[in-house]
Structure 1
């Protein structure tokens, strides 16, 4: 049943051929490059190894740091020192007078007393200027040196005295006056090493040349300098002459903060200006700056295509064994467990604990003897999963393993152990070769604390084992993300798709698995807070990056959003941690998030969690669509919102985007034939916003009924029909989404929309390895001729096989290649008419 030693040796050949096949695999396909990636960066100063390049290297652990302008660093900088190189207008008898303002801390200008017993020097500024600080280093007598400033009208003010106690050091003199001239005077001779003055402010600059003019919409900045600086601003320019303030940053926050530039500005040059405190030994610092267009760090929304499945098939919910009742689901009352949660989804995802099945991962689970055959002797997955299926829930299992339960050193052979587990699981539960209880599995939930190479071996083994046992079992990796490679540098959050998803596993996977919650760093506090799903800076928009990764590397395959949602109060349970939203906001965002994910073509969107957890408010304890067991799983407003949506439009298909602007999002839905049936619309703002807008839909439709999902009641309220004039509906929109059922007499089928639908093509080969007798399962969007070919990487074998007259949908075809020499081959499937090509490795055994 399982690979022998020789089979594993053949697997090594498989790895080699896979490397060649996936040479175009782009592990960075999900990343939106910052405009700063190839920029030229300079600065007003640098401090040792903390050079300017550190500010755009993508690593927030490195930084640019300036030199300290005070006490004396600024005097040689003409941008900081207003007196640099300005010769005195008058003085008493002087020696080396040019040394007074030459920007050097070597040598001194000396001034002797005149016949009146006075020594002095006066410097006129080229232009009267507001001065914040005058400082100089001097050697004076017992009577000291008096510092006087002259205003443009001739008025003078003594602002301080340099005493002998400060000899050979710099002394500071503060003022807020507009100054035309500065005078130093004494009744004794004195000498000055350097005299300097600071204008209205003292600043250090980081200058970035993007190389070309760009539209600047978002700036991600980490510029913590609280103890050194008063403020930080980012300036933008097309020509380095005229500068416009793009954002004011918060230098008190030790985080990378997204700042929106609104409206977006055209700029080639970016300047991060840090206004320094007028204190000694203070330095400016920038750990990282990234610059993007108005679409932000995750990039633009992709072009939409009509959906190939109704909305209800996308919607599901995360659950656990017993749904929080601490007993089998079939023992729950009629309105609890599966009977409750099947009202808000057509599929359910279970955290299937691997440790419940086996105490040691090298043990192969035996499911046929349940209860009694697994590590938890009382456990009967058949009983639990059958109850879920009876309730109409398609079952998705996340095979959960963690280092705390199953540490790496417990896996003697990670690949083999995972293969055996996957094979046993799919053989027993699979859709065709098993009992049909489970539709898809994930190789791990969030096993991000395992070493990446270790996880790759587990993924490859479990995925291949499951596919060998039942090719119809859909297989996905653990939850990964494709936008941020820096997560691999941290401790327990290592989840970068480009590292943890190897190209040689792609052939056994049916798509990507991702988790995205809607968070943003609050620009006023730095705290992570929840935000609305359409926000370009929301982490939920990371799904756009994942779509790009999928399209580049696994085109046509699925994407599961197996966790998403918002923490909120409700059902009598409070929510008061940073990521909380109101119960009304949770309801609004649930609807808006579903519409957005549907428009993006996500195959499954699974809400986290079924219910609140039965203890205090903390991250994810209040994400349920219902309250906890403590309140008898009372539904929250979001529950009723999702339930109502599925009842009213669950059978509808997304057809097209009507509007996706900063003011209005609106989508058209229809039936399976492309006939429009519904419009959904809202203003993409925070749920607390009272702002409104109007949207004209000029398609000739009229409304039959309209519901508003504002989360204020259990049953979404019917509202006033939109005004209609000459075939144009005027929609009044707020943060609360509305659902408009269209009058069927005013719409017709849209064949053009139907034709734009894109279907996934998929090829499965089984068994693999084989002795040359195997089958292929073609799942095709369109029928037509499909050619097949087999070749080896060394070129010795290259032969055309069958040409298949395939139908759209599923096709099974057998191949008998008994005379083929054992080894690794590439099986190629081509449907030229529809530009579909698939290549997979097969192994022929002796």
Structure 2
């Protein structure tokens, strides 16, 4: 309908109609980012950049504001050094950047209780300006984006809005090139979960932020199990939280980016102790690997600009969020190898289209294209959508290929270092492609005529 209207208006203009003088063509569809500019990880000050560089090129750091200014919020920070524990942020972030990481700092102002802020608006503005001047792209060029809070659940909407506006103005004044990111937000109808601010918080503040921020976890149950399931599971708000945010963005804040800065899966080996977490349910390490990879793929198809997995490392603690690392004591878990393989395979590619999305059997096929090799797309195919996949066997699936295309190469998502592709996946290629698919994604390198 829009195309017809634009054509008619343009035709009217050619006939001399003055009413069409201000008509402009709609902007072209936005290209998805290359996967190397899309995939990220959550870290902290013990992050080892050389270890995690094969996994992604983006890192998000939990940066406690309380470390920088202590109990006296009115006292300017001593950047580049944190006041309370003397962490030198220039050295830390410099070591991450040296390995090739692009750094997002989640400025956790909520690490200081609300009652201890002496003059919240003035102090937040001063802190934001000092941070941006110390680390932003125009000076040390260490941090490219800053979030105003992580999950400030103990701050009510009016108080957070005032602090957000003040700190955002400080960040803008300190370095206009630094991207400003909201705290975790929700565009879902009704009251958001306790860890997210309503996106309505940012109404009228469009000039003070660049990115809308979403945290989402594929839990089918909360307390006391915190049980997580496959990302495609019907009925859970995992993907819906993202599509609601992109829809809100399109309607109310066009041009803003949407980042998923937290998603992930606990995968431990220990049984929980009696107490708060005694009924906690862990995913398996294989499920963690599969579901992280598939989450990256799904988010890339939803108009998201970045996605950061949670978490970098764990100590195998049997409790909520405490075994979500892709390494354990800095030793890679299966998820590390699976995500590194995804990054190495699709880093120079961007999401192009959904080839198949069959609800009846959970078949997903996504196409990714390297802009320098448009005739050599990669299809990623898997079966998913059942909450429990531990006993899901591979089944033979037939895929129609583009006319004249052939499968030149195939690899299955690995679970270990140097794991070979699953040769058993190729069955035939007489008419299109036939192969065994299951919950682990299979990568198909196509050759087009």
Matched, 1:645 2:348: no
Equivalent in the alignment of 1:454: 159
Partner of 2:91: 383
Q: Is the alpha carbon distance of 1:556 and 1:487 closer, same or farther for their aligned partners in structure 2, counting shifts above 3 Å?
A: closer
| Residues 580/473 of structure 1: CA separation in 2 closer, same or farther (3 Å cut) | same
Paired residues of 1:598 and 1:654 also in contact (CA < 8 A): yes
Alignment of 1:503-522 (within 5 A): 503-521=203-221
1:605 aligns with 2:317: no
In the alignment, which residue of structure 1 is the partner of 2:10?
A: none
Structure 2 vs 1, CA of residues 520 and 377 (structure 1 numbering), >3 Å: closer, same or farther? closer
Secondary structure at 1:344's aligned position in 2? coil
Match of 1:591 in 2: 293
C-alpha distance after superposition, 1:804-833 (max 9, x if no partner):
xxxxxxxxxxxxxxxxxxxxxxxxxxxxxx
> Which residue number in structure 1 is paired with residue 3 of structure 2?
none
Structure 1: stretches of 5+ with no match in the other structure: 1-304, 324-336, 749-846
CA distance in 2, matches of 1:476, 1:722: 47
Aligned to 2:275: none
Q: Supply the distance in 2 between the matched residues of 1:385 and 1:708 (Cα, whole angstroms).
A: 35
Question: Structure 1-normalised TM-score?
Answer: 0.46
Within 5 Å, which residues of 2 pair with 1:666-677?
Answer: 666-673=365-372, 674-677=374-377
Would you say 1:618 and 2:319 are equivalent positions? yes
1:505 and 1:637, CA in 2 relative to 1: closer, same or farther beyond 3 A?
Answer: same
1:735 to 421, 439, 444: 439
Q: Give the match for residue 282 of structure 1.
A: none
Cα-to-partner distance string for 1:4-55 (whole Å, 9 max, x where unaligned): xxxxxxxxxxxxxxxxxxxxxxxxxxxxxxxxxxxxxxxxxxxxxxxxxxxx
Change (3 A) 1:667 1:455: same
Q: CA offset at residue 692 of structure 1?
A: 3.0
Higher relative contact order, structure no. (Cα contacts within 8 Å, ≥ 6 residues apart): 2
Specify which of 702, 705, 718 is matched with residue 409 of structure 2: 705
Matched, 1:349 2:63: no
Instruction: Tell me: CA distance 1:475–1:498, structure 2 relative to 1, closer, same or farther (3 Å).
Output: closer
Equivalences for residues 452-531 of structure 1 within 5 A: 452-487=157-192, 493=194, 495-499=196-200, 501-521=201-221, 527-531=225-229
Cα distance in 1 between the residues matched to 2:301 and 2:427: 23
1:134-283 aligned at under 5 Å gives the runs none
From 389, 401, 405, the counterpart of 2:109: 401
Deviations 1:496-524 (A, max 9, x none): 4244x2312221111201111111139xx
TM-aligned CA distance change 1:710 to 1:342, over 3 Å = closer
CA distance in 1, matches of 2:198, 2:396: 39
2: CA distance between counterparts of 1:383 and 1:527? 40
- Three-state SS of the structure 1 residue aligned to 2:331 is coil
Distance of 1:314 and 1:618 partners within structure 2? 29
SS in 1 for 2:343: helix
Please say if residues 608 and 624 of structure 1, whose CA atoms lie closer than 8 Å, have aligned partners that are also in contact: yes
Matching residue of 1:410: 116
TM-superposed deviation, 1:449: 0.8
1:318 aligns with 2:16: no
In structure 2, the CA distance between the partners of 1:583 and 1:653, relative to structure 1 (3 Å rule), is: same
Task: Give the Cα–Cα distance (whole angstroms) in 2 for the partners of residues 435 and 309 of structure 1.
Answer: 26
Query: Contact between 1:485 and 1:496, CA under 8 Å: does it hold in 2?
Result: no
Q: 1:534 to 1:709 in 2, by over 3 A?
A: same
Kindly indicate whether the alpha-carbon contact (under 8 Å) linking 2:263 and 2:308 is maintained by their aligned counterparts in 1.
Answer: yes
- The 3-state SS of whatever aligns with 1:517 is coil
How far apart are 1:712 and its partner, in Å?
A: 7.0
Match of 2:23 in 1: none
Larger Rg: 1
Aligned to 1:574: 270
Deviation at 1:716, TM superposition (A): 5.3
Aligned with 1:659 (options 356, 362, 371): 356
- Partners of 1:621 and 1:697 in 2: how far apart? 43
Checking the alignment, whether the CA contact within 8 Å between 1:641 and 1:714 is kept in structure 2 is: no
| Larger proportion of helix | 2
- Higher strand fraction (1 or 2): 1
Measured in 2, the distance between the counterparts of 1:691 and 1:478 equals 41
Are the structure 2 counterparts of residues 312 and 605 from structure 1 closer, same or farther at C-alpha, using a change threshold of 3 Å? same
Task: Please tell me the root mean square deviation across aligned C-alpha atoms, in Å.
Answer: 2.3
CA contact (8 A) 2:285 2:334 kept: yes
Structure 1 counterpart SS, 2:191: helix
Residues 388, 729 of structure 1: CA spacing in aligned structure 2 closer, same or farther, 3 A cutoff? same
Cα distance in 2 for partners of 1:527, 1:461 equals 39
> CA 1:306–1:683 in 2, change beyond 3 Å: closer, same or farther?
farther
Q: Is there any run of 5+ residues in structure 2 with no aligned partner, and where? A: 1-28, 273-278
Report if the CA contact (8 A) 1:590-1:638 is conserved: yes
Count of residues paired in the alignment = 405
> How far apart are residue 713 of structure 1 and its match?
7.0
Matching residue of 1:559? 258
SS of corresponding position for 2:146: strand
